[in-house]
A and B are shown apart, each in its own frame.
Chain A
Amino acid sequence: MAGKPLFLQWLLISVLAEFLQFLFSGVTIGATYALVGLGFAIIYNASHVINFAQGEFVMISGMSTVSLLAVGMPLPVALLLAVGITVVVGVALEKFAVEPARNASVVTLIIITIGASIFLRGAAEVIWGRDFHSVPAFSGSEPIIIGGAALLPQSLWVIGATVVVIIALRWFFGRTRTGKAMLATSYNPLVARLMGINTRFILSLSFGLAAMLGALAGILIAPISLTYPSVGVMLGLKGFCAAILGGLGNPMGAILGGLIVGVSEAMTAGYISSAYKDAVAFVIILVVLVMIPNGLFGVKGTERV
């Protein structure tokens, strides 16, 4: 008599555990997409440029970490330096590729940033070769069991760091003069300049900030997914999905977009088929765009004729 309820209980628990497992991996990868998507949003706000080299920031920080560890640096120092190197690359990208092409058309700017991403990937292959590298997890790889599902400590790092970044960004944009200057520039660059805001500096800053976010995503996810020169391609495109899904230029939308993409991807891979895992993000984006052409939280601007 007691067999049946027990069986149901067991079934429920295992179903729940499985669901939790997929949710953990979805939120982890979703947080990475969110960080990359945030970078897209910040650069877009400051300059109306879509930076297709955003995924390369993820790759550069991961690969730099590998090299820095190889020369014997302690992990925290290597991670910090890797982020620093990526920020320098990001600012250089703005100075040497985007700044000279200001006011060029959307297509031209898209090709320039894609050219930059090919260039950076090419440079990475020259410097590091085409091999896959692994990076040690920040605090061991002994999984934590929650509700029957295993959670890697590294996932906690990814999620925790993303939360910290979100809080820090809210403070930066809401409380600091520089952050407010960035917001002002995104609303109206001309008026911002008239108010004495150095919009050129804001532009460099936005690339630096976006590179930092990409770099963070890179060092956080490298211990889970390995790192190699073309690791940034799909990550960059999915980050772009996240940014568009949330409504281009809306940072909080990009974060939610990233989480939606990540979780749906993990659920599809878990419950349906892992073959079409990579297609999920693009199917979602097509369905959403067809129904809501400005993304989930995008502002429907009035068009000026």
Chain B
Amino acid sequence: MGFWQPRRAGILALAAVIAVLPAVLPNAFYYDVVILVGINAIVCVGLNLLIGYGGQISLGHAGFFGLGAYFSAVLTGTYDWPPLAALATGAVSVGVLSFIVARPILKLKGHYLAMGTLGMGIIISIALNQEVDITGGPDGMPVPAFAIAGWEPSSEQTWYWIVAALLMISVWLALNLIDSPVGRALRSVHGSEVAASVAGVDVTRYKILIFVVSAVMASFAGSLYAHYTGFITPDEASFFHSIEFVTMVVLGGMASTFGSLVGAAILTILPQLLTVLHDFEMLAFGAILMGTMIFMRKGLVPSLVDLAKRARP
């Protein structure tokens, strides 16, 4: 194997896709979709660490995404902070918040954990809706353009390369984390918490660590999203958005970083395609969601890999 470990091959393939895409993207609209795919993918790569590797479900990560977005919007818009400082403050604050809630919440298991994270996300989303003086309420608020020391990424192309670079870094970090002692400890937690703790793994510590990492990545992506789109609403933090993130991870395939990328791509592009169905959009979306999960329980990428293995024994 040597250099051509599947991991390296994967990241090279991703780099190749990123390099080739600009040649085939015909116009700004396509760039826009691809950039949104990239931003969602950053959230999913983090969330996959928690769900796929740590085996902990979260139905509230849009809350962190929304908080990141609003930190950037409010600090740059209302208080004239430099975007980078606002982004960092958001990420640190979300990191602290997730650290505080992680210990009590991650004590819960299964459906109780689902309920706990869901409740946390909904409380954040209600707060963003109700604190009209700060957030502008349900109508949303505009976000100033991103700028570093006077330089502003104005065109879709520039944003494309920024998001692509950040996505590559996220994927690289995630892959390294998975292959490190932390990753092995996490997988043992997923397999059996009792066995892991008997083997000397500090289960609580690793669960908290991965929860905080995934929350910070969501906040970071939220900040990027806010600056890129230039306008945000509390919907960014809604329960439905949390579900979308989880679905991206599960649809692509749990415990597969590249699966998360595929999931993010499909669920970002699908609604764009379904708009041609007009009134039937939601109906079709629900049906596709159900169908894929019923027939490909492990998710797209692992299911396809299995299929390929079976075809070539």
Seen from chain A, the residues whose Cβ lies within 8 Å of a Cβ on chain B are 44, 50, 97, 100-101, 104-108, 110-112, 114-123, 125-126, 233, 237, 240-241, 244, 248, 275-276, 278-279, 281-283, 285-286, 289-290, 293-295, 303, 305
Contact residues in A for B246 (Cβ distance below 8 Å): 107, 110-111
Chain A interface helix/strand/loop/mixed: helix
Known: A115-B289, A293-B108, A293-B112. A282 touches B123 (CB 8 A): yes
Give complex CA distance A156, B109 in Å: 38
From B104, B115, B239, B283, contact of A122 by CB (8 A): B283
Min CB–CB distance B113 → chain A (angstroms):
9
Min CB–CB distance B141 → chain A (angstroms):
18
Give complex CA distance A106, B112 in Å: 12
Min CB–CB distance B224 → chain A (angstroms):
26
Contact (Cβ within 8 A) B285 A240? no
Contact (Cβ within 8 A) B286 A116? yes
Min CB–CB distance A113 → chain B (angstroms):
9
- Which of B33-41, B65-73, B91-99, B290-298 lies at the interface? B290-298
Contact residues in A for B107 (Cβ distance below 8 Å): 290, 293
Contact residues in A for B250 (Cβ distance below 8 Å): 107-108, 111
Contact (Cβ within 8 A) A122 B286? yes
From A108, A114, A118, A303, contact of B194 by CB (8 A): A303
Contact residues in B for A295 (Cβ distance below 8 Å): 112
Contact (Cβ within 8 A) B111 A244? yes
Question: Top 3 closest A-B pairs, CB basis?
Answer: A119-B286, A122-B282, A122-B283
Contact residues in A for B109 (Cβ distance below 8 Å): 293
Contact (Cβ within 8 A) A111 B280? no
Contact (Cβ within 8 A) B286 A118? yes
Interface presence of B14 (CB below 8 A) = no
Give complex CA distance A305, B294 in Å: 28
Give complex CA distance A275, B285 in Å: 32
From A100, A233, A275, A283, contact of B123 by CB (8 A): A283
Min CB–CB distance A119 → chain B (angstroms):
3
Min CB–CB distance A287 → chain B (angstroms):
10
Contact residues in A for B243 (Cβ distance below 8 Å): 111, 114
Q: B91-129 CB contact bits vs A (8 Å, 1 = yes)? A: 000000000000011011111101110111011001100
Interface presence of B57 (CB below 8 A) = yes
From B110, B254, B279, B290, contact of A126 by CB (8 A): B279
Q: Write the chain B residue with the least CB distance to A305.
A: B194
Interface presence of B188 (CB below 8 A) = no
Known: A114-B243, A276-B130, A285-B116. A122 touches B293 (CB 8 A): no
